[in-house]
Structure 1
Amino acid sequence: MRVMVLVKATDDSEKGLFPEPWTTEMMAAMGKFNDALRDAGILLMADGLQPSSQAKRVAFDGPGRTVIDGPFTPARDLVAGFWLWEVKDMEEAVAWVKRCPNPMPGPSEIEIRPFYDL
């Protein structure tokens, strides 16, 4: 099954605040984690996203379209990064997320969303 693994944004990630040496240490730990995912054959794609201040939304209302400039709030409802994985089942995805280094300097959340199988 394919899952999208979403790293939820925080107030600090939305401000682009990542202190040293935490950033260097976290990037090294995340690199090792991504290598393990790749070696296990489940990593299809991974990337980080810029803060929502760099984003746009397009709102639809019938035939009308409205462009909305970021930043967007609240931060906890936003995504700071993602992985796309191919796993056996949700239990395997949860097990891998539990192995993930904390992607933020403080409290954070990672959400796992399965794709529809067509």
Structure 2
Amino acid sequence: MRFMVLVKATKDSEAGVPPDEKLITEMMKFNEELAKAGVLLAAEGLHASSKGARVRFSGTKRTVIDGPFAETKELVAGFWLWEVKSREEAIEWVKRCPNPMPGESEIEIRQVIEMTDMGPGLTPELKQQEEHLRAVVESRRS
């Protein structure tokens, strides 16, 4: 099972305050543990929402909204993508994580939808197309 593990933004992360050396060191050690355990698939921090944009969809209309975005509790400051056996295992890994922000912070854990979760709308042709796309993406990593 794959899980997206989301580090929620804080006022400091939205203000562009970088982590100190101690936190970077702790996070690197934690990421190394994840990698050695075969759990880590990806890990990245994100710039503040002031450097981002949102695209709002309404039927066929698209509206671009430039950051910053007001509600920091709804923003993501970084993420991991993990492969684990269960939601409980993902929770246990998060509980071992250093606090990603000074003071209070929050990490959200969300299971990634796999193609097998798509139901009858996933025809054999669409499944084949998705497998082809994954192969193309994987070949570009090599």
TM-score, normalised by the number of residues in structure 2: 0.79
Helix, strand or coil for the counterpart of 1:58?
strand
In 2, Cα distance between equivalents of 1:39 and 1:17: 30
Greater fraction of residues in strand: 1
- Output the TM-score relative to the length of structure 1: 0.94
SS of the aligned residue for 1:47 comes to: strand
CA distance in 1, matches of 2:93, 2:100: 14
How far apart are 1:89 and its partner, in Å? Answer: 0.1
Q: Unmatched 5+ residue regions in structure 2?
A: 116-142
For 1:64 and 1:91, how far apart are their aligned partners in 2?
Answer: 41
Paired residue for 2:94?
97
Match of 2:109 in 1: 112
Q: Greater helix share, 1 or 2?
A: 2
- Root-mean-square deviation (CA, aligned residues, Å) is 0.9
Aligned residue pairs total: 115
Shift of 1:17: 2.0
Structure with greater contact order relative to length (CA < 8 Å, sep ≥ 6):
1
Q: CA deviation at 1:12?
A: 1.1
Percent identity reads 61
Q: CA deviation at 1:106?
A: 1.1
Q: Deviations over 1:26-85 (max 9, x none)?
A: 000000000000000010000000000000111111111111000002101000000000
**What is residue 63 of structure 1 aligned with on the other side?**
60
Structure 1 window deviating more from structure 2 (74-83 vs 57-66): it is 57-66
Confirm whether residue 84 of structure 1 aligns to residue 81 of structure 2: yes
Gaps of 5+ in 1: none
How many Å apart are 1:117 and its aligned residue? 2.4
